[in-house]
């Protein structure tokens, strides 16, 4: 066994046995190397191994600390219930008041035997003509309307992301992403054998020069970006930044996967990147947030010449949408119910954001007034893992910032608050409780 792994095993034993306690800071790497009589590079590998095992977390400018909460798989956060906490602010599936009453009469005709027989047939990745037309209309913005012939379907948005990346990135390939990204993309990249490359960002999103620099260091196979209502920070890129990035990827001939899952909540967002770089941008969206996770379909709008490659990836991954779900989507979009739900969820999200502003007044919170999550930058000396553990002890589950960090050695002292799943009264009480926790020292 390599020396660094033996040392990491001993430290891991110390952590498990409680000799190194949660929240305890490890010595700086140079000091650790001197004490152990090892090279600085070996000390770096020891700390890196502990980070990989989820036992410690590195924080820029502060050091390396023993985790106060156990780490789960990177992609599990935000995708499945990881806790039985009474107030779950990890999962984030919005449901509008009266949603079921709106859905039932539209879906009822699907249960007629003649209609049901057709709806139970298998569906190709290309879906049906009616489904392609409905989705093209649903996704259209003032300056962009997708070509219905370029619309493909998957079971959900996560499958759409996976299939699109699988069609673009070979094992060993590199994908440029915002330095904080959707946790499931980290898991998808690991399964594809690709490497995520964090891109420097400012208050307007990824820096075009950072994309160019990363590509010149070693060629990128694709970018995965969330230009509208970025998860977790809620950032929305300006029109100018989108145009700059479009010019950059055109110059590099670099494909883009544009995630627009939450964009429906922003009624005045700029047109998607696809409006600026249609030959390179793959737009991913779904019905899971607009309607419900149990009644969803994923969409991919692909550039010209990419339909067959992405469709092949969908088929090989077993990610095709069900025909029943496609038929339901056509009816829900055509009847206007989806738009009614969008308007209702914007209003619901606005009320929940009002509670955030009320209960977390005085703290640094990034949010959009009609969005179902908020990014809370914790004040010192709180760290993300210690706060997450403290919240869990009170029956409140939140998502720690490191779940979104691409570089495990550069993790933010912040948490993402999912606002959609708790009842409003429970959400208000939970926010008030969390504010009280932060006002005390850890």
The least confident of 4-8, 62-66, 126-130, 225-229 is 62-66
The pLDDT > 70 percentage for the chain reads 95
Domains of the chain as residue ranges with CATH: 3-66 (1.10.10.10), 87-92+339-439 (3.90.1150.10), 111-335 (3.40.640.10)
Q: Which residue has the higher pLDDT, 118 or 437?
A: 437
Q: What is the pLDDT of residue 74?
A: 47
**Segment 320-363, tens digit of pLDDT:** 998 899 999 999 999 999 999 999 999 999 999 999 999 999 99
* Mean pLDDT value of segment 63-87: 60
* Residue 406: C-alpha distances to residues 74, 183, 187 (Å): 10, 9, 11
Q: Which residues contact 158 (CB under 8 A, 6 or more apart)?
A: 79, 184, 188, 298
Could you write out the DSSP letters of every residue in 24-88?
A: PBPPPHHHHHHHHT--HHHHHHHHHHHHHTTSEEEETTTEEEE-SS----TTTTTTS-----SEE
Q: Which run of H or of E encompasses 378? A: none
| pLDDT score, position 78 | 47
Any idea what DSSP says for residue 238?
A: -
Q: What is the DSSP letter of 322?
A: P
- Alpha-carbon distance of 21 to 257, in angstroms, equals 41
Pairing label, strands 205-206, 281-286: unpaired
Whole-structure pTM value: 0.84
Q: How far apart are CA 157 and CA 75, in angstroms?
A: 14
The answer on pLDDT for 101 being more than 60 is yes
Give yes or no for a contact between 46 and 11, defined as CB atoms under 8 angstroms apart: yes
- Residues 181-206: tens digit of each pLDDT: 999 999 999 999 999 999 999 999 99
d(CA 302, CA 300): 6
Distance CA 393, CA 22 (A): 14
Kindly report the number of other CB atoms within 10 A of residue 370's CB atom.
20
d(CA 124, CA 126): 5
pLDDT (tens digit per residue) in 203-233: 999 999 999 999 999 999 999 999 999 999 9
With a cut of 90, say whether residue 91 has pLDDT above it. Answer: no
pLDDT of residue 70: 55
Q: Which tops the pLDDT comparison, 292 or 237?
A: 237
Rounded Cα distance between 2 and 15, Å, is: 20
Q: Which residue has the higher pLDDT, 307 or 109?
A: 307
Q: What is the rounded average pLDDT of the residues 91-110?
A: 90
Give mean pLDDT, residues 169-175: 96
Count other Cβ atoms within 10 Å, centred on residue 130. 15
Task: Name the residue with tokens 């019905």.
Answer: 287
On whether the CB atoms of residues 240 and 187 are closer than 8 A, the answer is no
Question: What is the predicted pLDDT for the residue at 82?
Answer: 46
Residues constituting the chain: 442
* pLDDT band of 2, cuts 50, 70, 90: low
Q: How do residues 135-159 score in pLDDT, each as one tens digit?
A: 999 999 999 999 999 999 999 999 9
Tell me the average pLDDT of the chain: 91
DSSP single-letter state for residue 403: G
């Amino acid at each position: 066994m390599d020396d660094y792994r033996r040392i990491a095993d001993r430290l891991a034993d110390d952590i498990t046995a409680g000799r190194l306690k949660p929240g305890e800071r490890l010595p700086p790497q140079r000091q650790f190397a001197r004490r152990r009589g090892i090279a600085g590079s070996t000390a770096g590998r020891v700390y890196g191994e502990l980070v990989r095992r989820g036992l410690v977390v590195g924080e820029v400018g502060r050091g390396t600390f023993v985790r106060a909460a156990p780490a789960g798989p990177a992609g599990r956060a935000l995708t499945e219930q990881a806790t039985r906490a009474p107030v779950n602010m990890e999962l984030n599936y919005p449901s509008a008041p009266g949603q079921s009453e709106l859905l039932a009469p539209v879906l009822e005709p699907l249960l007629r035997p003649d209609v049901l027989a057709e709806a139970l047939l298998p569906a190709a990745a290309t879906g049906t003509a009616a489904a392609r037309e409905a989705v093209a209309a649903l996704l259209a913005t003032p300056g962009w309307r997708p070509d219905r012939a370029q619309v493909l379907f998957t079971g959900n948005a996560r499958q759409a992301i996976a299939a699109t990346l699988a069609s673009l990135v070979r094992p060993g390939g590199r994908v440029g992403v915002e330095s904080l990204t959707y946790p499931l993309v980290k898991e998808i990249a690991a399964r594809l054998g690709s490497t995520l490359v964090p891109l420097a960002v400012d208050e307007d999103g990824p820096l075009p020069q950072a994309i160019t620099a990363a590509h010149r260091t070693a060629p990128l196979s694709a970018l995965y970006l969330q230009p509208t209502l970025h998860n977790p920070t809620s950032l929305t890129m300006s029109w100018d930044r989108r145009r700059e990035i479009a010019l950059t990827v055109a110059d590099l001939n670099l494909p883009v996967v544009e995630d627009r899952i939450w964009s429906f909540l922003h009624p005045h967002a700029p047109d998607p990147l696809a409006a600026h770089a249609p030959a390179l941008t793959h737009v991913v969206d779904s019905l899971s947030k607009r309607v419900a996770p149990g009644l969803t379909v994923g969409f991919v709008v692909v550039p010209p010449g990419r339909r067959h490659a992405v469709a092949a990836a969908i088929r090989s991954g077993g990610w095709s949408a069900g025909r029943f779900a496609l038929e339901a989507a056509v009816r829900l979009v055509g009847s206007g119910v989806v738009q009614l739900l969008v308007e209702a969820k914007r209003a619901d999200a606005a009320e929940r954001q009002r509670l955030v502003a009320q209960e977390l007044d005085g703290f640094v919170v990034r949010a959009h007034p009609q969005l179902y999550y908020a990014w809370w930058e914790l004040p010192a000396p709180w760290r993300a893992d210690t706060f997450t553990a403290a919240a869990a002890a009170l029956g409140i589950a939140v998502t720690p910032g490191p779940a979104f960090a691409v570089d495990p050695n550069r993790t933010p002292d912040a948490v993402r608050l999912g606002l959609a799943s708790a009842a409003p009264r429970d959400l208000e009480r939970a926010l008030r409780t969390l504010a009280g926790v932060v006002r005390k020292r850890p």
